[in-house]
Structure 1
Amino acid sequence: MFVEHCKHDFKFENLSRKELLVRLEVGDIFQAVSENGAVAVCLVLAVDETVVISRRITTQEYCKFDRRSGRSVLGGNSFSGTITSVEPLPPEVRNTFLEMDRQYRLAHRDEESLRLTASQKAALLFIHDHYAQYPIGE
């Protein structure tokens, strides 16, 4: 369904990890990976000079990440990991993730309201290769 990846902006290709993390803004979506390999797709809710506050889209769990290193910050969140990609998603995929975030946030946790649509399944499959293609360096 989502054939093309984002048009990669090569002027950002040589930016450091810190430079890329500092560019995160409210509303951005990024990927983080835990030490055990669990992947989290997160929506940025707030940023300040030192911390990125986000919410995992599929679990609605709040997470904090250090804005310079991308590592999770201890303090109540059970997700422990590191931001691995901040590459923007194509608009159609991004909108699908925003739809999923709203669906999970407002769901009553009944089975029917949590069922994935075809476009949501396609978006989840798409991000695996997309984020792997655009990792942020050390």
Structure 2
Amino acid sequence: MTTDREELISKLAVGDMFHASFSNEAVRMCIVTSVNSAAVMARAVTTQEIFSFDRVFGRAQSIRGAICTIDSVYRLPGEIRDVLLEIDRRYGGEPAPYGLPLSIIERRALLDAMELFSSNPLPL
């Protein structure tokens, strides 16, 4: 029997965005890049890290060994999602250079997305 959490994670599809966090309170906003029966592959928008999240628990291990867990799959409003996609495209698969300034609109979109994800967590 699947839980509500598992069911919501299993509905993730290519192009969807979600929020994930580490035990040290670091967070990632991710875009689903591919899905198979065992995993959800995703890329972090700002760091361009690649993760393979298991579809049962929504957990992935970073290249440094830290565990990252999906904690919200809330569907962002189109205007916020579009700005996050533009940030992702600008970085083009490369980590963001330190000091690369974000526009006011980009900063607002990141803050709004964080608020929406935080206000709409997955069930435990």
Length-normalised TM-score, structure 1: 0.79
Larger radius of gyration: 1
Aligned counterpart, 2:92:
105
Count of matched residue pairs: 121
Aligned counterpart, 1:135:
121
- Matching of residues 1-138 of structure 1 within 5 Å: 16-72=4-60, 74=61, 77-78=63-64, 80-105=67-92, 114-138=100-124
Asked if the contact 1:34–1:82 (Cα under 8 Å) also holds between the matched residues in 2, the reply is: yes
Asked if the contact 1:58–1:101 (Cα under 8 Å) also holds between the matched residues in 2, the reply is: yes
Residue identity matched to 1:135: P
Identity of aligned residues (%): 37
Asked if the contact 1:55–1:62 (Cα under 8 Å) also holds between the matched residues in 2, the reply is: yes
RMSD: 2.1
Asked if the contact 2:20–2:30 (Cα under 8 Å) also holds between the matched residues in 1, the reply is: yes
Name the one with the larger strand percent.
Answer: 2
Aligned counterpart, 1:6:
none
Aligned counterpart, 1:9:
none
Instruction: Tell me: CA distance 1:85–1:110, structure 2 relative to 1, closer, same or farther (3 Å).
Output: closer
Asked if the contact 1:33–1:84 (Cα under 8 Å) also holds between the matched residues in 2, the reply is: yes
Shift of 1:80: 2.2
Residue identity matched to 1:137: P
Length-normalised TM-score, structure 2: 0.88
